[in-house]
Amino acid sequence: MEKILNEIEKKALTFIRNQIMYGDRKPSLRNLMNYLGYKSPRSASLIVSSLIEKGLISRDDITREIRINYFKNIKSKLVNIPLVGAIACGKPILAVENIEAYIPYEVKGDPKEYFFLRAIGDSMDKAGINDGDIVLVKKQQNADPGDKVVALIGDEATIKIFKQDNHKIILEPRSLNPVHKPIYVFGNLQIQGKVIDKINFDN
């Protein structure tokens, strides 16, 4: 029998699994409460109880630790998207050895066309991308002016605003920090994809 989840349950289930797979903390009612934006653990507890009733998670009677049971037969479009590092080290970003974890997420189209990348630094904070954010990227080799792109310059991946002036490509930061300046690229540039969303694990 399929398990039908509402949007809050999907979000909670994704957070719990991410904490188990990737986070430094074990999932708890309090950090789930913070993630969902609730003011009381009671609200988070009701979500957890619903997921337990649907057989998707369980809780240890003694430690109260939340555990994932399975993700099969869930009526949702969650798929595992690879999380890769911020530096490609001269290799394609999506090389198998660069994959750190998989994050369940809902995407449109072929899941193989997407990957997550960890943002480092504050060069895009005015564009809503802060240090430590996990950004969702759709693979593509071309970009339109104004797109937030993941560009590979030499052996380093960077997230910037794509601009083009005749034959000159400009990777422009959007930052409150004046130290960040536009990057003018005349060669050795690979567009890896376009940033279309972000998540974080700081809640």
- Give the single-character DSSP code of 37: T
| Active site (annotated) includes residue 43 | no
| Active site (annotated) includes residue 123 | yes
Query: Backbone phi, then psi, for 11, in 5-degree steps?
Result: -65, -45
Q: Rounded distance, CA 150 to CA 86, Å?
A: 10
Beta bridge partners of residue 138, listed in sequence order: 114, 194
Catalytic residue among 3, 123, 138, 194: 123
CB distance 121 to 184 below 8 Å: no
Among 125, 2, 27, residue whose Cα is nearest residue 11: 27
- Give the single-character DSSP code of 133: P
User: Residue 146 carries which side chain, given as an amino acid letter?
Assistant: G
Q: Rounded distance, CA 23 to CA 20, Å?
A: 6
Look-up of token digits 């990227």? 137
Catalytic residue among 3, 138, 148, 160: 160
Query: DSSP 3-state assignment of 53?
Result: helix
What's the token pair of residue 128?
A: 């809503």
Which residues are designated catalytic? 123, 160
